Structure 1
């Protein structure tokens, strides 16, 4: 058997780790594209940012438009949201967490990362 295809750790139905270091996520929900248009997203603009270019680690920012206008020159509160699955089974860009973070930003008036 090819070493690349050999499973080192099988944590079905969530993920598999291969001997070559690859991780395969088995549970995947549809991804949602970021949108700078807040009217399409409960008054929240979203943007993806790369945190580490070497590894490709990135995050999604959820910015409530009304809070930005009301804040003027003041900074918004910041909420750093990390779900319990540590993004092993999903990502910041999946539909479920996108909807949750959008609702959180809209209801609190905070920037959600």
Structure 2
């Protein structure tokens, strides 16, 4: 879905916009809908903007819901949306752990 010149209409709030879709990052349906109307048409853009799918579950609970909301707002089939770019989760590591590993390999 790369046709950014399409007019998808104005953002009209819905009664269930306060429903939490991404529990890990506490993102609501309304925030996702608003992001689409602000020009984020891909799941990767939504993820980078709102952090959907970047919490503890890594999108296991919200990805399908986010995709359904975005496709509904754009008026396309969910299969027409390209999947979000996936990456391995990163965690900070303390330097002494890296140093210890280096010493053990000698």
TM-score (norm 2): 0.24
Greater helix proportion:
2
State the TM-score, normalized to the length of structure 1: 0.23
Structure whose residues are more often strand by fraction = 1
